[in-house]
Structure 1
Amino acid sequence: MRISCKTQVGTNQSRQQPSRKQTRRRSLLALVAASVLTLGLSGCASTNSHNFAASDANPISFMLDWTPNTNHVGIYVANSKGYYQDSGITVKILPTAQAGAETSVENGVADIGFSKLSNLADFNAKGAHLKLVFNLAQQPIARWCSLASRTDITSPKDFDGKTFVSFGSAEQTAVVKQMIKYAGGKGDFTTVTSGTNTFTTLTSGKGDFAGFYVSWEGVQSDLQGPKLNCFTQSDWGVPGNPDQTGFAVKDSWLKDPQHKENLTKFIQATKRGYDWALAHPDEAADILVSQTPTAHIDPQQARTSMKLITQEGYWTNQPKQTTVPGRLNMQDAQTYLNFQYEAGSYQDSKGKPVKQAPQAHNLWTDEFIR
């Protein structure tokens, strides 16, 4: 389950970060011209990045939060179908950096990054200036799981005294504590750092439970094993929606009228890609696989994931609906932010608790969704 770039767990692909080596060669004259056009844009291009249009007009760089998966399928569909080119923009997709998409967007390495609202709350509490401009997930997709073979774990109460495979995230800790207490436990557990693959950490016996995403790692578990026994936080006392995920930008980047125009075109083209994916889940899964060969995505996992997303309405909140709203449920958002604030999860740049809960309306805008 991803909370930030540093809180990844493994799937069937290795989650080691790709090289940040610059590969583009230009003549001296072209380099000078390009520097004028792209000052402040990505310095993180890699051999795994994708240029999503033939023209260099109106460039946008987009950074993933993780290895490519069905959460990103709308971007790849938009490219395959020519939606970006039709909109007059050039999109370069960047592999996730070690620092994370949020830091990369804040520092100008990428224009847009895939993130989640609670991540922005954490970063902005420390002095960042990020805003979510498109929300994909409309209901929780995180699950808290032990191996199905662990018959001693039948509810979150049984996580008490066990070892949580984590990266020390205050947000994760607050969620797990609440689930345990709601189930009748004390909320006491130890943590261990995950390796490159959380499934392996669990099967090795180094940890007892961990966080996963049902629409990707849950599918992997069903298809390939090991089988998991999972719990959803909303069933165990955690309020709101912790998994409001989408596209983040830096406030100051939006001050440029050209950036705002390009962002509007990008979001509309990408939303069109997600809509097409919901209407054609198998074909969209195949596009994701074909456009990301270095990710070595299992085609069956991609297809099964898209089927689950469509049937359960994770992006729409309505099963089998084929239009992604892209908007944020403000009540769910603020309820969850309040919960995390009360748990003491948010601290400023000096490590001191913030004086009030982050406000969803300061972290979100629907200006670019039509």
Structure 2
Amino acid sequence: MSIVGDIPTEQGPQQTGVRQVLGWLTKALALASAGALTLSLAACGKAGSTNQASQNSESADEIAFMLDWTPNTNHVGIYVAQEQGYYKDAGVKVKILPTAQAGAETSVENGVADVGFSKLSNLAAFNAKGSHLQLVFNLGQHSIARWCSLASRTDIATPKDFDGKTFVSFGSAEQTAVVQAMIRNAGGKGDFKRATSGTNTFATLTSGKGDFAGFYVTWEGVQSDLKGPKLHCFVQSDWGVPGNPDQTGFAVKASWLKDSKHRQALKKFVQATKRGYAWSLAHPDQAAKILVKQTPTAHIDPLQASTSMDRIVKDGYWTAGPGQTSISGAVNMQDAQTYLDFQYQAGSYQDGKGKPLQRAPQARDLWTDEFVK
């Protein structure tokens, strides 16, 4: 889940190949065009006749959901809701689509998926260029982004030491603004080179092709602790970057919400998924096992999954505080707007013609709390 591009195309050390992803997506599109989104993801159904099960299937609402990356603990609530039968209980059928090369946001905008895993700052960038996306559920209550070099790099003690070195990324304006601010607030100039990451950011750093990169502490940070290589990381808020850049959750297209049937299906989906995330926080080890079981092709390391869940619970990344299990699903509007204002002032947002926006994106326009209540 390397932070190598806020609007991802090819991501992460765990990612399956692009050809495999595209193959999965092609199959999903073929099924969708045939009207075959009829897979009930409830693994444990209640006893009943075949005819009754068929009637329930036909009457259920449908949601096609696209991941933003290969399955990981950010998605655990979805797979738990599947395993525990929460979607079936709610009367909604959920089809989980693997991430597309173009990204979940583009897939939602184009109608390939009804709902996609994204984050508020991504929606700001997309909508600035003419999209009409809205966040309807927010998982990330605290930032999980970290900016790291290998621990073996003794020449990098603070972000100031990133000056003149090579940043492994896909060159997003948002990340450039964050790294420049961190460097300058540490006393540097904010000048650095860029290198494109391959499928494994750790390998890019250890090969010497790059000096530092962005990672997520709840996944790659765990991987580093368990398997290496060890990282030396910095948190952007410690170096003058305000707000929370990682308000991450579910995005939909605004026009899709105009259909009352879609709104009904989305409400059922969000509420059942909230239930899945809450159960995951209350039963982290069991939730990790469900994630591994439900995603065999992702080849998730069970120890990484369980350690990640333990870290999420302990540090309270999805809740108001450590150890809590109550999922609000809401956006912290102050943190969101503060971060969007920072990015606007840095010149990160441009319209569809490449011109700077006249005002900062507004968090209130990118978010609705209708479906989390």
User: TM-score higher than 0.5 here?
Assistant: yes
Cα distance change, pair 25–217 in 1 and its aligned pair in 2 (3 A): closer
CA distance, structure 2, for counterparts of residue 176 and residue 245 of structure 1: 20
CA distance, structure 1, for counterparts of residue 15 and residue 343 of structure 2: 31
One-letter amino acid of the counterpart of residue 217, structure 1: E
One-letter amino acid of the counterpart of residue 309, structure 1: I
One-letter amino acid of the counterpart of residue 361, structure 1: R
Structure 1: unaligned runs, 5 residues or longer: 39-44
Tell me by how many angstroms 1:58 deviates: 1.2
Moved over 6 A (4+): 23-26
1:257-277 superposed Cα distances (whole Å, 9 cap, x missing partner): 011011000000000000000
One-letter amino acid of the counterpart of residue 125, structure 2: D
2:14–2:70 Cα contact (<8 Å) kept = no
Taking structure 1 as the reference length, the TM-score comes to 0.92
CA distance, structure 1, for counterparts of residue 64 and residue 131 of structure 2: 19
- How many residue pairs match? The answer is 354
1:87–1:269 Cα contact (<8 Å) kept = yes
Q: Any idea what SS the aligned residue of 2:27 has? A: coil
CA distance, structure 1, for counterparts of residue 30 and residue 208 of structure 2: 48
* Cα RMSD (Å): 2.0
Q: Any idea what SS the aligned residue of 1:138 has? A: coil
The corresponding residue for 1:52 is 41
Tell me by how many angstroms 1:24 deviates: 8.8
Whether 1:240 and 2:243 are equivalent positions in the alignment is yes
1:138–1:317 Cα contact (<8 Å) kept = yes
Whether 1:229 and 2:218 are equivalent positions in the alignment is no
The corresponding residue for 1:258 is 261
Q: Any idea what SS the aligned residue of 2:94 has? A: strand
Note the 1:286-365 alignment, pairs <5 A. 286-365=289-368
Q: Any idea what SS the aligned residue of 1:171 has? A: helix
The corresponding residue for 2:83 is 80
2:137–2:250 Cα contact (<8 Å) kept = yes
Tell me by how many angstroms 1:22 deviates: 2.3
The corresponding residue for 2:13 is 11
Tell me by how many angstroms 1:288 deviates: 0.2
CA distance, structure 1, for counterparts of residue 358 and residue 192 of structure 2: 28
Cα distance change, pair 353–88 in 1 and its aligned pair in 2 (3 A): same
Tell me by how many angstroms 1:369 deviates: 1.0
Tell me by how many angstroms 1:317 deviates: 3.0
Cα distance change, pair 105–31 in 1 and its aligned pair in 2 (3 A): closer
The corresponding residue for 1:42 is none
1:15–1:67 Cα contact (<8 Å) kept = no
Q: Any idea what SS the aligned residue of 1:249 has? A: strand
Cα distance change, pair 51–209 in 1 and its aligned pair in 2 (3 A): farther
> What percent identity do the matched residue pairs reach?
71
2:150 to 147, 165, 176: 147
CA distance, structure 2, for counterparts of residue 196 and residue 23 of structure 1: 23
1:186 to 189, 196, 219: 189
Tell me by how many angstroms 1:10 deviates: 2.5
The corresponding residue for 1:366 is 369
Taking structure 2 as the reference length, the TM-score comes to 0.91
1:9–1:212 Cα contact (<8 Å) kept = no
Tell me by how many angstroms 1:13 deviates: 4.5
CA distance, structure 2, for counterparts of residue 117 and residue 67 of structure 1: 20
